[in-house]
Amino acid sequence: MEKFRLTHNLGLKIISLVFACVLWFLVTNLSDPVVSITLNNIPVQLQNTAAITSRGEIYEVLDGTDMINTVTVYAPRSVVDTLSGANIIATADLSELSSLDTASIELRTNKYSDRIESIGGSHDTVKLNIEERRSKILPIEAYVVGTAPDGYQVSGISTEQNQLRISGPASVIENVAQAMVEVDVTGFTADIGTDATIRLYDEAGDEIDRASIIKNISTVRANITILQTKWLDVNIIATGTPAEGYAVAGTIACTPERVLVAGRQSALANMTSLDVTDSAVDVSNLTADLNVPVNLRTHLPGGMSFADVDFNGYVSVVVNIERVPGAGGETTEEGEESEGAEGETASENGA
């Protein structure tokens, strides 16, 4: 009897079961169909990098292949609606490199992974360049750009560290020739202290900006000294006394007559001239003009310098020496003739 109940209307029961399955399939797909979603810029996590670095080698990712431009996911709508780029996990195992130094990219999601129909990216391998690791030590050179305002001048620039250590692929490191920092001084009238970015350049002066280059520091403290400038008259003071019957005539001539100096504002505030007493300008016992060069650098007050880079520090000094009118022993051509005439008269009278 039981067997009869199970097999009674068996055809209808099979048809009912098939209909139920079809209905379930239709309902499921109509209410929650499989759709796709495209997510952009998915980073690839590189795993087991020590497989390369432990050999004293270094790798560089080529063509930006450690970033997948687009990832497409097929899943039920209820799943797709909850996914974002943060849910996509992309990895590449560097211990399993191909003969072409590429690593396969594995894609998965960190949720609803059992409901994902398929997932794929715009590319499926990470391309690498593997080379010997090379290191180099470079001096850090500092430069200023721009110009200080009128009446001010950059006196000097220095960095608190003067060396940079870099490492990376041998072919890249060999091309690095300079490490430089630049500081813009436009508009500054006082000293500057700032953290400046260190940039690398090749022999041709082109910047090298490669992610594969590792620097021990990326910035350095740069200090710039800015001084005020001012024109000062040069006042030459002679020493000694000319020979008896002679004196210094007029003022002492100096070429150039004034110089542009740079110094702290407090030091320049009360200065209008540069007074110079130099051993070269000694007129002792002179009977003729003195023409000598004088080095002004030795007479600059401490902390000052010449603001004109083309000025070598020397001035030409001329001291005019003249005979004092009416001084004893003076003779003239007229005097000699007069004396001669008187002598002839005396001779005649004596005769």
The fraction of the chain above a pLDDT of 70, given in percent, is: 85
State both tokens at 232: 């000062």
pLDDT computed for residue 32 by the predictor: 84
Span 146-159, pLDDT tens digits = 999 999 999 999 99
Comparison of pLDDT for 28 and 128, the residue scoring more: 128
Residue 256 lies in a domain: yes
Residue with tokens 């505030």: 269
**Mean pLDDT score of the chain:** 88
Is residue 47 over pLDDT 50?
A: yes
Task: Let me know how long the chain is.
Answer: 351
Across 4-8, 44-48, 79-83, 298-302, least confident range: 4-8
31-35, 36-40, 50-54, 87-91: least confidently modelled range: 31-35
116 plus 43 within the same structural domain? yes
The reply to whether omega before 301 is within 30° of 0 (cis) is: no
Residue 13: what pLDDT?
62
Residues 57 and 104 occupy one common structural domain: yes
Residues 200 and 172 in one domain: yes
Predicted confidence (pLDDT) per residue in 176-212, tens digit: 999 999 999 999 999 999 999 999 999 999 999 988 8
Segment holding 182, helix H or strand E:
strand 178-184
Half-sphere exposure (Cβ direction) of 347: Cα atoms closer than 13 Å: 6
Q: In the listed set 66, 93, 123, which residue is the last one of a domain according to the structure?
A: 123
**Domain span holding position 200:** 134-227
**Residue 1: pLDDT over 60:** no
Question: Could you count the other beta carbons within 10 Å of the beta carbon of residue 250?
Answer: 8
> Cα(129)–Cα(168) distance, rounded to whole angstroms?
12
pLDDT of residue 348: 41
**Is 235 in the same domain as 220?**
no
Say whether pLDDT at 334 is over 50.
Answer: no
Closest by CA position to 85, among listed 104, 100, 107, 61: 107
The CATH number of the domain holding residue 193 is 2.170.120.40
Give 121-149 pLDDT, tens digit per residue: 999 999 999 999 999 999 999 999 999 99
Structure confidence by residue, pLDDT tens digits, 223-269: 999 999 999 999 999 999 999 999 999 999 999 999 999 999 899 99
Greater confidence, 206 or 7? 206
HEC sequence for 117-134: CEEEECCCEEEEEEEEEE
Model confidence at 331: pLDDT above 90: no
- Residue 86 CA to residue 91 CA, distance in Å, equals 14
Burial of 220 (0-12, 13-18, 19+ CB in 10 A): buried
Instruction: Report the pLDDT averaged over residues 74-94.
Output: 96
pTM: 0.62
* pLDDT value for 200: 98
Q: Is residue 59 over pLDDT 60?
A: yes
Q: Which amino acid does the sequence have at 164?
A: L
pLDDT, tens only, 283-299: 999 999 999 999 999 99
Based on DSSP, count helices (H) and strands (E) in the chain, helices before strands.
7, 22
Q: Which of 123, 150, 185 is the last residue of a domain?
A: 123
Query: Does the residue 65 lie in any domain?
Result: yes
74 in a domain, yes or no? yes
The total number of structural domains in the chain stands at: 3
Tokens read off for 184 = 């813009």
Band the pLDDT of 339: cuts 50, 70, 90. very low
Residue 81 shares a structural domain with residue 141: no
Alpha carbons 182 and 266: distance in angstroms, whole number: 28
Residue given tokens 């020979």 in the structure block: 243
